[in-house]
Amino acid sequence: MTTASGCPVHGGFDPLGDAFLRDPNAHMHDVPPVFYAPALDYYVVTRYADIERVFLDPETFSAANAQLPLIALPPEVGKTLLDGGHKPQPSMVSLDPPEHGRLRKPAARAFTPRRVDAMEPRIRATTAELLDAVDASQPFDLIAALAFPLPMRIMFSFMGVPEADWPRLKEWCASRASLAWGRPTDEEALHHARQMVRYRRYLRDLVAVKAGDRGDDFASALLEIHDEDPEALTQEEIASILFSLSFAGHETTNNLIGNCVRRLLEAPERWARLVGEPSSIAGAVDEILRYDPSVPVWRRVTKRPVTLGGVDLPEGAKLFLWLAAAGRDPDVFPEPERFDPERPNSRRTLAFGRGIHFCIGSALGRMEATLALEELTRRFPALTLVEQDITFHPNISFRGPQALWVHA
Ligand code: HEM
What is the average pLDDT across 245-263?
95
Write the DSSP symbol of residue 134. -
- CA–CA separation, 69 and 188 (whole Å): 13
- 135 residue type, one letter: D
Going from the Cα of 256 to the center of ligand 1, the distance in angstroms, rounded, reads 12
pLDDT confidence bin for 90, thresholds 50/70/90: low
Q: Which atom of ligand 1 is least distant from the CA of 323? A: 10
pLDDT at 111: 87
Q: Note whether 43 and 312 are within 8 A (CB).
A: no
Of 394 and 85, more confident: 394
pLDDT confidence bin for 206, thresholds 50/70/90: very high
Mutate to test the pocket of ligand 1, among 252, 322, 364 (most ligand atoms within 8 A of CB): 252
Mind listing the pLDDT tens digit for each residue in 147-166?
999 999 999 999 999 999 99
Going from the Cα of 249 to the center of ligand 1, the distance in angstroms, rounded, reads 8
Q: Which atom of ligand 1 is least distant from the CA of 250? A: 27
pLDDT at 1: 82
Q: Which atom of ligand 1 is least distant from the CA of 104? A: 41
Going from the Cα of 286 to the center of ligand 1, the distance in angstroms, rounded, reads 15
Of 280 and 84, more confident: 280
pLDDT confidence bin for 72, thresholds 50/70/90: confident
Mind listing the pLDDT tens digit for each residue in 230-251?
998 999 999 999 999 999 998 8
pLDDT confidence bin for 344, thresholds 50/70/90: very high
Segments in 249-351 forming alpha helices (H): 251-266, 268-276, 281-291, 323-326
Going from the Cα of 76 to the center of ligand 1, the distance in angstroms, rounded, reads 30
pLDDT at 88: 56
Going from the Cα of 361 to the center of ligand 1, the distance in angstroms, rounded, reads 6
42 strand-pairing partners: 37
pLDDT confidence bin for 171, thresholds 50/70/90: very high
pLDDT at 149: 96
- CA–CA separation, 383 and 346 (whole Å): 25
What is the average pLDDT across 36-60?
97
Going from the Cα of 350 to the center of ligand 1, the distance in angstroms, rounded, reads 11
- CA–CA separation, 30 and 189 (whole Å): 35
Q: Which atom of ligand 1 is least distant from the CA of 354? A: 16
pLDDT at 33: 97
Q: What percent of the chain has pLDDT over 70?
A: 99
What is the average pLDDT across 73-83?
89
Mutate to test the pocket of ligand 1, among 352, 395, 397 (most ligand atoms within 8 A of CB): 352
Write the DSSP symbol of residue 3. -
Which residue's CA is the closest to the ligand 1 atom numbered 12?
Answer: 353
Going from the Cα of 197 to the center of ligand 1, the distance in angstroms, rounded, reads 23
Q: Note whether 344 and 332 are within 8 A (CB).
A: no
Going from the Cα of 365 to the center of ligand 1, the distance in angstroms, rounded, reads 9
| Average per-residue pLDDT for the chain | 94
What is the average pLDDT across 32-50?
97
Mutate to test the pocket of ligand 1, among 222, 346, 359 (most ligand atoms within 8 A of CB): 359
> Does 51 score more than 70 pLDDT?
yes
pLDDT at 2: 85
pLDDT at 377: 98
> Does 25 score more than 60 pLDDT?
yes
DSSP assignment of 10-32 equals -TT--TTSHHHHH-GGGG-TT--
What is the average pLDDT across 11-35?
94
Q: Which atom of ligand 1 is least distant from the CA of 66? A: 15
What is the average pLDDT across 302-313?
97
Ligand 1 cavity residues, CB under 6 Å: 55, 63, 92-93, 104, 107, 111, 244-245, 248-249, 252-253, 256, 293-295, 298, 351-355, 357-361, 364-365
Alpha carbon 387 to its chain's center: 27
Q: Which atom of ligand 1 is least distant from the CA of 253? A: 1
Going from the Cα of 373 to the center of ligand 1, the distance in angstroms, rounded, reads 21
Which residue's CA is the closest to the ligand 1 atom numbered 20?
Answer: 359
Q: Note whether 236 and 204 are within 8 A (CB).
A: yes
pLDDT confidence bin for 89, thresholds 50/70/90: low
pLDDT at 5: 79
pLDDT at 124: 98
